[in-house]
Chains A and B, each alone.
Chain A
Amino acid sequence: MLRNLWQRLIAPIDPPLMAMAALLLGYALLVLASASPERLGSQALNMVVALVVMRLVAQVPPQKMMRFALPVFVVGVLLLIAVALFGDISKGARRWLNIGFMRIQPSEIMKIAMPLMLAWYFQRHEATLRLREYAVATLLLLLPVGLIAKQPDLGTAILVFAAGCYVIFLAGLSWKVIAGLFVAACASAPLAWAVLRDYQKSRILTLLDPEADPLGKGFHIIQSTIAIGSGGIFGKGWGQGTQAQLEFIPERHTDFIFAVLSEELGLLGITVLMVLYLFLIGRGLMIAANAPTLFTRLLAGSITLIFFTYAFVNMGMVSGILPVVGVPLPFISYGGTALVTLFIGIGILMSIHRHRMLVQN
């Protein structure tokens, strides 16, 4: 009886994905225990919540997800508009919406809603995929991205934008158009520069020359780079990172936790992390490759590549090769919202994988 219950409980769960995720969560707790031990308990709770959500999502069949795609997207966009109009301002950005009993961050919803929406859209027009469909998809993508970038929340905007782009790319947008867009993007770079806020511009300039303002804008990057470099191959040892423990690393439990990991566990620790990511991404891509419908393929591929984007942008910014945007290190950074979003993604992957046969049959 009990065994039966357990069987039913774990049935939707994909063992390889679960194993990768579990290893990453364990790793996260290890690093957090050094970076910010007082937050260990609450992050463990976040993990439990995220796993429960994952399990719930994993049993939802993809057909049902398709039905949610449009309403969730519309609600998400409306909430983003509401944020733009009535949102709370904190730290100079309007990102939160107060809905009485709690505050929500609608841009987070878009991380899932966007690939869901576009995958659904392409599935709907599967038979007649012409340039027009891609153009519509692009417009569907740019509307929420624009709203998020306006808040401003460049990090989330990039992630949502990337998620959409992955869907469009995987849906088969012709290489010619891609090349054309790439050229156009390069050509309009100066225009984009003009649109950027001053603090965003300064972040990019800081990336180019962090030492220009070592105590001001360059401080984060310089200190995290020092932390990584001083870690060496084997690291300074867990809990022994001077940059981390003496608070030279800013945001060391959230966006810059990778610097703590690198300093204390060295290149070896980084390698372990990257291998875990690669296995996770590999498994995700495999699921996508074997997915039965266009919708599930695009969704699975996009979600998997989002995991990659998270990891790449975060590690790139902490090690000083990308500008500082607020992107956490997936599975490792402290924080519940991002974790729940990630595990919704994992849950979707699991569901797609579990239901691949059901559809084919």
Chain B
Amino acid sequence: MEFKDSEDELHQFRRRLTGAGGFVLFAFAVLFARFIWLQVVQHSYYQTRAEDNRISLVPVLPNRGLIIDRNGIVLAHNYSAYTLEITPSKVADLEKTIDELEKVIEIQPKDRKRFKRLLEESRNFESLPIRNRLSDEEVAKFIARRYRFPGVDVKARLFRQYPFNESASHLLGYIGRITDRDLATISDKDMDDNYRGTEHFGKSGLEQKYEFDLHGQTGFEQVEVDSSGRAVRVLSRIPPVAGNNLTLTIDAKLQQVAEQAFGDRRGALVAIDPATGGILALVSMPGFDPNLFVDGIDSQSWDALNNSPDKPMVNRALNGTYPPGSTFKPYMALAALEIGKRTPQQTIFDPGYYNFGGHVFHDDKKGGHGIVNMYKSIVESCDTYYYMLANDLGIDNISGFMRRFGFGQRTGVDIEGESEGVLPSQEWKRKRFKRPDQQRWYAGETISIGIGQGYNAYTPIQLAQAVATLANNGVMYRPHIVKFITDTKTGAAIPIEQKPLRTIPLKPENIEIIKQAMVGVNKEGTGARAFAGAEYVSAGKTGTAQVFSLKGEKYTEGHIKERMRDHALFIAFAPADRPRIALAVLVENGGFGAQAAAPIARQVLDYYLLGKLPKAPAPADETAPEED
């Protein structure tokens, strides 16, 4: 019995054991099915995923193209420096990490502020600089302690640098970190791939306009990475292609001479080679230091630039619009000749005012200029002559003629955001105003248009283009800053258009008369003091643009606040017989053109034509004639 029991027991045990064995086989079969599923059926899917894990496509940023002046002086270049960067997504407590970092590497409050700003603007996973331009010592110090700072790393980066700081800042513009708006622009151009990894984008000036030329082609490295994203080895590499270099028509030395001539005055100067439209100097004072923007500007500097009453961020040469004042007169005279309303010899009598329908328009010179012909009207800048002429021409003739010289139209210069200005006309008034009585053009309004006042408002670059066109006998070019773009891949220089925009049909003898009168301005007229002793023959015209009209009072400079003083203008070209340079100068609140603007033009012309470097900023010539 006992034996049978234990025999039964053994049988039962063996059955159970067999059952367990069966379960083992079944379980292993399930596992094996799983492995077949993964390794045979789904193999290619997992293989792809393993490759995706392992291989990372790392963009290699191209060198941004250089910006070079016409003589080979580099105005914008790149240098390599180390930055300390934090990848916020990999850091749990940013504040604490930065506090810890500060014990190793100097981090100033402004670095923190800038980092905060970048953090707010940043797109996800990118790493952001907390410190720029680490010294070798600092790099070594950090590397030794890197293990303590996951998500923080030292990176070698290329930095844009503008070696002349504030000089030419408005025309060069600046680059800054890419924003969402920039990304949209990049997407529109279908350049997303090429901008993978790019962190900077041209924000203004040439840097903006030629962004896609300067950027270059991003290269890529196929890198094998480990699970923490560290590169183990490079599998293949498509090298980047550096951006194209821009060679400018700008003469950097001339630019500096012009800037220095302004001293601490505000204003603009545009100098053009009349034969090509190439801009030799484009000045807007005051300037700013574009280097500040490269790393992301700190808020203090940003506020200072934006809140300054001098508005250094405004490019006055393209965006400031000013009445041309008496610099308008040569074109008025030319219009009169072309249309046949005046002959050069025809004279008027100027009693010192012009009465139009009971309204009296004063001449600057008390008692008047007496008997005035066309030559004298320009040389002495007689207002009455032009009050009468304006009335005789009528607004339609004036606006029709001036439009051909480019007044009130964008010149198409290769910088974004140019202003249009205002060329007054009946049509303009209809569009500009809403009430019918405002939309009407009154004949009385034409009178002050004749001396460059009234609704007239032009940008300095328009004034420069007009005088260059006049100097070039009516052959008009689009003003431009880039002379040619050098393709880094082929080394080929791609020139910017050389063809004239249009040729204004003007009689050569008429042009000659106006030019002679402008030569007279600098020889015996309002520009004579500024150009005394010049070793070349130049042609010019002074101008003064009213900022505030003072009814009934005699304009006396000393009594008015600086900001309410008139703007001083001067247009010129030289040498008069074969012009190599034409320019327009504007000094905001400079007073009389002859006093403030003409001396600046003199220094610029002296340097460009003779290589003469001025010793000091052009002084305001208080004793120069007060008429213009």
Residues of A at under 8 Å CB distance from B? 166, 169-170, 172, 223, 225-233, 242-243, 246-248, 262, 266-267, 270-271, 274, 277-278, 281-282, 285, 288-289, 294, 297, 301, 305, 308, 312, 315-316, 319-321
B623 in the interface (beta carbon within 8 A):
no
Residues of B contacting A242 in the complex (Cβ-Cβ under 8 angstroms): 50-51, 53-54, 224
Find chain B residues with CB under 8 A from A246 CB. Answer: 53-54, 224-227, 232
Which residue of A172, A233, A274, A294 contacts B32 across the interface (Cβ within 8 Å)?
A274
Task: Name the contact of A278 in the complex, choosing from B28, B34, B227 (C-beta under 8 A).
Answer: B28
Q: A233-B43, A266-B39, A297-B13 are in contact. List 13 more A-B contacts (CB 8 A).
A: A225-B38, A228-B35, A229-B38, A232-B47, A243-B54, A247-B228, A267-B39, A288-B17, A294-B9, A301-B16, A305-B24, A312-B27, A319-B31
With A246-B227, A308-B24, A312-B28 known as contacts, the answer to whether A229 contacts B16 (CB < 8 A) is no
Closest to B15 in A: A172
Q: In the bound complex, do residue B28 and residue A232 qualify as a contact, i.e. CB atoms below 8 Å apart?
A: no
Please tell me which one of the listed residues A231, A274, A281, A321 contacts residue B39 in the complex, with CB atoms under 8 A apart. Answer: A231
Interface: B79 (CB within 8 A): no
Taking a contact as CB atoms closer than 8 A, the residue among A223, A229, A281, A288 that contacts B42 in the complex is: A229
Residue of B9, B14, B20, B39 with most chain A CB atoms under a 10 A cut-off: B39
Which of B21, B40, B53, B225 is the one whose CB lies under 8 Å from A226?
A: B53
Chain B: number of interface residues, binned into ranges: 35 or more
Complex contacts, A315 vs chain B, CB 8 Å:
31
In the assembled complex, the Cα of A267 lies from the Cα of B38 at a distance in Å of 9
Nearest opposing residue in chain A for B24, CB measure: A308
CB closest residue in chain B, given A313: B27
Q: How far is the CA of A80 from the CA of B42 in the complex (A)?
A: 45
Q: Is B43 in contact with A229, judged by CB distance below 8 angstroms?
A: yes
Bound form: Cα–Cα A229–B9 in Å = 46
A290 nearest CB across to chain B (Å):
10
Q: How far is the CA of A225 from the CA of B42 in the complex (A)?
A: 11
User: Is B157 an interface position by the 8 A CB rule?
Assistant: no
Q: Which among B14, B43, B53 is the interface contact of A248 at CB below 8 angstroms?
A: B53
Q: Can you give 26 contacting A-B residue pairs, CB < 8 Å?
A: A169-B20, A172-B9, A172-B13, A223-B53, A227-B50, A228-B46, A229-B45, A230-B46, A230-B50, A232-B40, A242-B54, A243-B53, A246-B53, A246-B54, A246-B224, A270-B32, A271-B32, A282-B21, A289-B17, A294-B9, A301-B17, A312-B28, A312-B31, A319-B35, A321-B30, A321-B31
**What's the nearest-Cβ distance from chain B to residue A229, in Å?**
3
Which residues on A sit within 8 Å (CB–CB) of B104? none
For the complex, give the distance between the alpha carbons of A243 and B45 in Å.
Answer: 14
Query: How many Å from the CB of A182 to the closest CB on chain B?
Result: 14
B39 and A229 form a contact (CB under 8 A): yes
Q: Which residue of B lies closest to A298 (CB)?
A: B13
B36 at the interface (CB under 8 A from A): yes
Tell me whether A274 and B36 are in contact (CB under 8 A). Answer: no
Interface contact A305-B20, CB-CB below 8 Å: yes
In this assembly, does B187 line the interface, its C-beta being within 8 Å of a C-beta of chain A? no
Give bound CA distance, A297 to B27, whole Å.
Answer: 22
B612 within 8 A of A: no
B49 close to A (CB within 8 Å): yes
Contact (Cβ within 8 A) B36 A267:
yes
Separation in Å of the A2 CB from the closest CB of chain B? 41
The 5 residue pairs across chains A and B that have the minimum distance between CB atoms: A229-B46, A230-B50, A229-B38, A246-B226, A230-B46
Q: Is B12 an interface residue (CB 8 A)?
A: yes
| Other-chain contact of A289, B14, B49, B226 (Cβ < 8 Å) | B14
Q: Which residues of A contact B226 (CB under 8 A)?
A: 246-248
Tell me the bound Cα distance from A242 to B227 in angstroms: 10
CA distance A227 to B227 in the complex (A): 13
Chain A residues, Cβ within 8 Å of B20: 166, 169-170, 285, 301, 305
A173: nearest chain-B partner, CB-CB? B16
Q: Is the CB of A225 within 8 A of B53?
A: no
Alpha-carbon distance A94/B36, docked complex (angstroms): 39
Enumerate chain A residues within 8 angstroms of B28, measured Cβ to Cβ: 274, 277-278, 312
Contacts of A227 in B (CB 8 A): 50
Interface residues of B in 137-159 (CB under 8 A from A): none
- For window 206-242 of chain B, which residues contact chain A by CB distance below 8 Å? 224-228, 232
Question: Do B16 and A321 touch (CB < 8 A)?
Answer: no
CB distance from A286 to the nearest CB of B (A): 9
Shortest CB distance B21–A (Å): 5
Closest to A126 in B: B9
CA distance A314 to B525 in the complex (A): 102
Name B13's closest neighbour in chain A (CB-CB).
A297
Which B residues are in CB contact (< 8 Å) with A266? 39
Cβ of A248: which chain B residues have Cβ within 8 Å of it?
50, 53-54, 226-227
In the complex, what residues of B have CB within 8 A of residue A312's CB?
Answer: 27-28, 31
State whether A230 touches B47 (Cβ < 8 A): yes
Contact A267 B17 (CB under 8 A): no
Q: How far is the CA of A320 from the CA of B21 in the complex (A)?
A: 24
**Residues 78 to 93 of chain B near chain A (Cβ within 8 Å):** none
In the assembled complex, which residues on chain B have CB atoms less than 8 Å from the CB atom of A231? 39
Quick one: CB contact mask for B614-628 with A, threshold 8 Å, 1 for yes? 000000000000000
Determine whether the beta carbon of B38 is less than 8 Å from that of A228: yes
Chain A residues, CB < 8 A from B39: 228-229, 231-233, 262, 266-267, 270
Taking CB atoms, residues of chain A closer than 8 Å to B40 are: 232-233, 267
Whether the pair A270, B50 counts as a contact (CB closer than 8 A) is no
CB of B234, distance to nearest CB on chain A (Å): 14
Taking the closest CB of chain B, its distance from the CB of A313, in whole angstroms, is 10
Residue numbers in A under 8 Å from B30 (CB-CB): 321
A271 partner residues in chain B, CB cutoff 8 A? 32
How far apart are the CA atoms of A297 and B16 in the complex, in Å? 11
Q: Measured between C-beta atoms, what is the minimum distance from B320 to chain A in Å?
A: 54
CB contacts (< 8 Å) of A262 on chain B: these are 35, 39
Q: Which of B9, B12, B35, B49 contacts A267 (CB 8 A)?
A: B35
Query: What are the residues of chain B within 8 A of A267 when measuring CB–CB?
Result: 35-36, 39-40
Q: How does the 8 Å CB contact mask read for B34-69 relative to A, with 1 for contact and 0 for none?
A: 111011101101110111011000000000000000
Once the chains bind, are B16 and A170 in contact (CB under 8 Å)?
Answer: yes
User: How many angstroms from the CA of A246 to the CA of B25 in the assembled complex?
Assistant: 35
- Nearest to B52 among chain A residues (CB) is A226
Q: Kindly report which residue of chain B lies nearest to residue A281, judged by CB atoms.
A: B24
Q: Please, how many angstroms separate the alpha-carbon atoms of A319 and B36 in the complex?
A: 11
Within 177-226 of B, Cβ neighbours of A (below 8 Å) are at 224-226
Residue in chain B with minimal CB distance to A170: B16
Contact in complex: A226, B12 (CB < 8 Å): no
CB pair A270–B35 under 8 Å, yes or no, is yes
